[in-house]
Amino acid sequence: VLIDLSELQRDALGEIFNIGVGRAAVSLSQIVDDEIKLSAPVVEILARPQVIEMLRANTTGRLSSVRQDFHGALDASGLLIFPEINAIEIVRRMVGSDLTPEVFCEYESEAMSEVGNIILNACVSSLANMMNISLDSDFPVHNTGDYHSIIPDSPEMPVILLIHIDLIISKQNLNGNILFLISVKSLQSLLDYLDQYLVSQGLV
Amino acid sequence: MSAAIESISSDIALESLKALQVGVLILNSDYKIVYCNDWITQRCAETIGNLVNKHFFETFSNLIDSRLDTIIRQALQEGMSGIISASFNKSLLPLYAISMTDEKRRKQIKQMVQVKAIQKEKGERYALIQISDMTNALEKELQLREQADTISRLVNIDHLTHIANRRKFDETLQEEFKRAQRAGNSLVVGVIDIDHFKLYNDHYGHLQGDRCLEEVARCLQNSLKREHDLVARYGGEEFGLIMPASTYEGAIKFSEELRNRIMALRIRHENSPTDAVLTISLGLAYIQPQAADTQEILLSSADFALYQAKHLGRNKAMIYSLKNNELSECI
């Protein structure tokens, strides 16, 4: 059974994640000395099969993902997913390399972990700050594969918070997604925190 | 898990940390270095001296406002873990390879840094900083990458003239033809032939003939203006030209420019019946490919235009439009 977000909740979450990715964009831009823009236009709550179906409709081919787990007031697994060609493009543009082989090598994989680390930490940190809760994180892990192998099928965390993101580097738009896998209990807590936040902002 | 750890005395745990083959630094919540293992001490610039009890950012003041600063703060203030990869961040801590005793020649280690918050119950938060030496791994990978890159370039390059070879031409033509079909764009393909090259070789010798080919190739290559245009050595004294999304008029103008530029090289060709200097003939074909069209039709149309250019006296460019099946001289 999935919980529908009210329009207000959806807007608030969207705003929180937009602040997060905005900060991540500043950090990423500092690394490359070039402007990187990031926006998170859509937030949805879905189940794994729906997410896979939806994402597969937009991209085929291999994917690159960075996974990072978060604990504290909420327990969640964060995933940053890009089509592999986009991920390679991001890293190559950031490293300033024009080398050709179309696969990730070790140091690019490590670089992608850093990109994921920056984006996921910024999102979670924004969420924690706004809701005045404490969340800590584990180290990021980079993986490649298809949606089935990349998105863990975890009975404890059946709910997915799906955030579409657009990353613009050197005028090129490379889209990807952020997924937070959470338990039903954590989702309920998240919505409670969200409602408290809306009340504190005088929006409810 | 916790039972296993408890069975080691804290002395043994500390000795292990000391002997670890990665660098370990621990900061307290005031950014003071409270622990540093041997790996770090052995590699740290001597001028810095003993690190323990020093403030991290006072000691490494160049790292203030760096990425490392950000992730250390995130760890101490929020409990976030962060990594810094060796490929984006050129230099981090002043750590040097152990074998380098000569101060001037010593090289800074390329580092991957991982920072994690360590907290027992609700006590003080510490930042555990782990540093791995990525220098060799990074260099080896870069070498392999460069080799792979060189090989893939060599496969596509003509060994005499150093411009693209026929293999690259065929590959590009196939790609561009499909792209034009998909996008509904136009495509121009050209074949270029040096006039009376056999007579040139017979008169000046093969060595001079090779030099002439090099010069012509360089001139054609340097004349390209648009990013996706390609000129390749097709074989012998023949060159191929691919101009994606070129207009009919643009192709005419460009082919005349190529013809004039080759003449302007003023390569003497005494035995040429066409002119006193070396000249070229060009055959172009213009298409807006439909689903039923093939690249073979395009290429044979360009060959036909070249044949006509030669037939009409050489030092000429002819263009065949597959749009209205018309052959015209490029003027």
Q: Which residues, including other chains, have CB under 8 Å from residue B227's CB and lie 6 or more apart?
A: none
Nearest Cβ partner of B85 from A100, A111, A134? A111
Q: Is A181 helix (H, G, I), strand (E, B) or coil?
A: strand
pLDDT at B5: 53
Determine whether the interchain pair B117/A136 forms a contact, defined as Cβ–Cβ distance below 8 Å. Answer: yes
3-state secondary structure A22-86: HHHHHHHHHHHCCCEEEEEEEEEEEEHHHHHHHHHHHCCCCEEEEEEEEEECCCEEEEEEEEHHH
Question: Measured between CB atoms, does A30 come within 8 Å of chain B?
Answer: yes
Alpha-carbon gap: B141 to the closest alpha carbon of chain A (Å) = 8
Q: Does A95 touch chain B (CB under 8 A)?
A: yes
Question: Is B137–A134 a contact, with Cβ atoms under 8 angstroms apart?
Answer: no
Q: If you ran DSSP here, which 8-state letter would residue A3 be given?
A: P
Q: Decide if B88 and A95 are in contact by the 8 Å CB cutoff.
A: yes
Mean pLDDT of B65-83: 92
pLDDT, tens digit (0-9, with 9 covering 90-100), for B191-225: 999 999 999 999 999 999 999 999 999 999 999 99
- The answer to whether the complex's ipTM is over 0.90 is no
A37's CB contacts (< 8 A; 6+ apart) are A25, A166, A167, A168, A169
A78 neighbourhood in chain B, CB within 8 Å: none
Say if residues B213 and B165 touch (Cβ distance below 8 Å): no
Contacts of A66 in chain B (CB under 8 A): none
Beta strands B230-235 and B238-244: pairing type?
antiparallel
Cβ–Cβ gap A111/B148 under 8 Å: no
Question: How much is the average pLDDT of B128-136?
Answer: 93
- pLDDT for res A66: 96
Which residue of B83, B131, B152 is the best one to mutate when testing the A interface, meaning the one whose CB has the most A CBs within 10 A?
B83
Torsion of CA B274, B276, B277, B282, to 10 degrees: -10
Shortest distance, CA A108 to any CA of chain B (angstroms) = 7
Residues of B within 8 A of A110 (CB-CB) are 83, 85-87, 112, 134
Q: Residue A98's pLDDT is what?
A: 59
Which amino acid is present at A50?
Answer: Q
Using alpha carbons, select from B17, B51, B56 the residue that is nearest to residue B37: B17
Containing H/E element for A183? none
Is residue B63 packed enough to be buried (19+ CB in 10 Å), middle (13-18) or exposed (0-12)? Answer: middle
Q: Which residues of A touch B67 (CB under 8 A)?
A: 27, 30-31
| Nearest Cα residue to A197 out of A22, A71, A9 | A9
Question: Measured between CB atoms, does B116 come within 8 Å of chain A?
Answer: yes
Query: Which of B77, B85, B114, B138 would you mutate first to test chain A, the one with the most A CBs within 10 A?
Result: B85
Cα distance from B108 to chain A (closest Cα, Å)? 18
Extended beta strands in B41-155, E state? 82-84, 111-119, 125-133
Q: What is the pLDDT of residues B277-304, one digit of tens each?
A: 999 999 999 999 998 899 999 999 999 9
* pLDDT > 70: percent of chain B: 95
Q: Are A172 and A89 in contact (CB under 8 A)?
A: yes
pLDDT at B91 over 80: no
